[in-house]
Structure 1
């Protein structure tokens, strides 16, 4: 087979969920050394060393254009020169007229369920674009892949597609996410980012579903109730002005210096900060999977996460579940785990076992099987 894979944003320096998933999936495919000829189409950007040509998998860099132009015009023309049997679009959308059989990874359909303008301009535009394009791409695709049984049920009902047209391929964690015993390496990272010995870790994405204001309020309530020596909170990828605004609105400006803002931490160094964290909190309102849950678990870090959408499916019984719509439940979980070493150790053990269930090798093998079934 000749397989084309769209990975438009894979070379951008600051990778987030979908780019990380696509990168790990392709790397796992390369390791499997398939007999198929696979070509990856990626928009040129700074991090063009994250993926190499290997075995029968080659990389084609294209010129950089705005998202819709690249996807709807440049990608189909480049794919046509390769003349593949199938095109796999990896990140929720695809060309309306691809000119080839298409398989689409539909991570989620949150943007179809509700539309608000509380995110950044980029996030708002992306949601409008997907809202217009995705239903038509889904209708034209020969196969849909999603990342949890929860999301599959949502997609089937919302887009009225046959159950047999959609399959679940779980995300997984990179092999880099594991307990790290190199104390020198951990200490160097901690010193470089001015981190305390013990802290609570939170990823401060400002997308509304990430629930950042509620998390900050819950942590401040924890500070009010924790007594002496409370844990500080490390919030990644959150702007100083955003934090100050949330603290002012909630009346907790006095606690600004209990927050540490290291900025963006690349995927290669995320295992270090997970290993250093005493507790990891992932209180999203809605997720199709929730990759950081199993990444933190694999690094032997106890996890607090939400009891909504896919998160219980992913976490199993290996995390402390909270109601993300009730910040007081986050506060209670922080108070409990911060003081209870026995519970933290129990979650660590359960988390390591749970995270081992999610393998990129399995995901890549399943995806290759879907490719072949679509052609045969």
Structure 2
């Protein structure tokens, strides 16, 4: 089978959508090597370097397509799909090319969330309009919709009026490396490289309002005199960091919240953690705290649990669904509830050990081989 992918985010996105794309493509190519995988990429990128022989990068050919690469990706690529005899096309994030049904090629679109529909005030008006147009078209015209959570499926049904039988819920998997226990010597190498404290709480995510870093800091303020453990923040500023820093300065809490990107930049280094060192960084943490207001999936929950790290997350959105009863759940508006969870994990070793065991068991729901099999079964059901 020749399978085509919209590979823009695989090659150009270093946040959740990019990781999702790269992990899925690599897993399918590894587990089902009998297929050929064609990655339609609008322009050369540096974020993806697959080494499987059955993965092929396809760039726009001809000066006009290269100059108008966005149009090529959203419309003209349909001719390339036909010419290369693609048997199935997968739009990996909320969209498929206009005119896809006319090609006769069955298609799948992955819907990660409908947040611009539900929370339009969180986005620029132009971005909301573009998202709505692309998502509505994709959900209406794709052969099948792949939702990454039951909550997303319900939103698609309620907002777009799509029948349930057109939507398959397939949970993502984190990269296999997160499911391997790192040896102590490797963890110490990572600790020294990033100047990490002996014990720390961890937050992973872009610093934007919905990720709720401000209330995490308020929870740290509540426990500052009881627990001598700082918070390490891994993630780039998405426009909310200044507000967080004002709070930290007002409360004289700057030394208890460490922005890893800042520390790296001040040392003249690249301001991000190497991907292959993230599992060890997670596993060094006393707990990972991720109390977002809303998420499409919440991958850091699984990345932490897979490595045996206790997790504090939200009572809202799809996060309880993904946490599967293995996390401490806190109201995202309640720093007090977050603080209680951090206290319990830090002060009660037996409780923390139980959370680690439950978390690792929950992470097995998201094993790479399960994920790859369910996606391939979806493909085969429509080809």
Would you say same fold, with TM above 0.5?
yes
Farther off after superposition, 189-198 or 245-254 = 245-254
> 1:253, CA displacement in angstroms?
4.4
1:292 and 1:70, CA in 2 relative to 1: closer, same or farther beyond 3 A? Answer: farther
| CA–CA distance in structure 2, aligned partners of residues 102 and 173 of structure 1 | 24
Farther off after superposition, 172-181 or 332-341 = 172-181
Counterpart in the other structure of 1:355: 363
Counterpart in the other structure of 1:220: 221
Counterpart in the other structure of 1:257: 255
Which of the residues 326, 350, 361 maps onto 2:334? Answer: 326
**C-alpha RMSD of matched pairs (Å):** 2.5
Other structure's SS at 1:269 match:
helix
| CA–CA distance in structure 1, aligned partners of residues 66 and 210 of structure 2 | 29
Other structure's SS at 2:293 match:
coil
Counterpart in the other structure of 1:60: 58
Residue 140 of structure 2 corresponds to residue 139 of structure 1: yes
Give the TM-score normalised by the residue count of structure 2: 0.87
| CA–CA distance in structure 2, aligned partners of residues 311 and 334 of structure 1 | 18
1:58 and 1:297, CA in 2 relative to 1: closer, same or farther beyond 3 A? Answer: same
Other structure's SS at 1:9 match:
helix
- In the alignment, is the contact (CA less than 8 A) between 1:44 and 1:64 conserved in 2? no
Counterpart in the other structure of 2:11: 11
| CA–CA distance in structure 1, aligned partners of residues 35 and 187 of structure 2 | 41
- In the alignment, is the contact (CA less than 8 A) between 2:294 and 2:318 conserved in 1? yes
- In the alignment, is the contact (CA less than 8 A) between 2:298 and 2:322 conserved in 1? yes
Residue 118 of structure 2 corresponds to residue 113 of structure 1: yes
> 1:107, CA displacement in angstroms?
1.0
Counterpart in the other structure of 1:199: 200
| CA–CA distance in structure 1, aligned partners of residues 76 and 370 of structure 2 | 32
Q: Which runs of 5+ in 1 are unaligned?
A: none
Runs ≥4 residues deviating over 6 A: 63-67
Q: Which string of whole-angstrom CA distances, capped at 9 and with x for unpartnered residues, describes residues 229-274 of structure 1?
A: 5210100124499545324247734111212122222432210111
1:204-283 alignment to 2 at 5 Å? 204-223=205-224, 226-227=225-226, 230-239=228-237, 243-249=241-247, 252-263=250-261, 264-283=272-291
| CA–CA distance in structure 2, aligned partners of residues 187 and 53 of structure 1 | 32
| CA–CA distance in structure 2, aligned partners of residues 214 and 347 of structure 1 | 23
- In the alignment, is the contact (CA less than 8 A) between 1:195 and 1:260 conserved in 2? no
Structure number with the bigger relative contact order (C-alpha 8 A, sep ≥ 6) is: 1
Counterpart in the other structure of 2:304: 296
Q: Which string of whole-angstrom CA distances, capped at 9 and with x for unpartnered residues, describes residues 275-311 of structure 1?
A: 1101100101112221111110111111111111211
Corresponding pairs, count:
365
Q: Which runs of 5+ in 2 are unaligned?
A: 262-271
Residue 334 of structure 2 corresponds to residue 335 of structure 1: no
Farther off after superposition, 178-187 or 287-296 = 178-187
| CA–CA distance in structure 2, aligned partners of residues 214 and 65 of structure 1 | 45
Give the TM-score normalised by the residue count of structure 1: 0.88
| CA–CA distance in structure 1, aligned partners of residues 209 and 241 of structure 2 | 14
Q: Which string of whole-angstrom CA distances, capped at 9 and with x for unpartnered residues, describes residues 80-132 of structure 1?
A: 43232321101122222234432101111111112124x6x7xx754442122
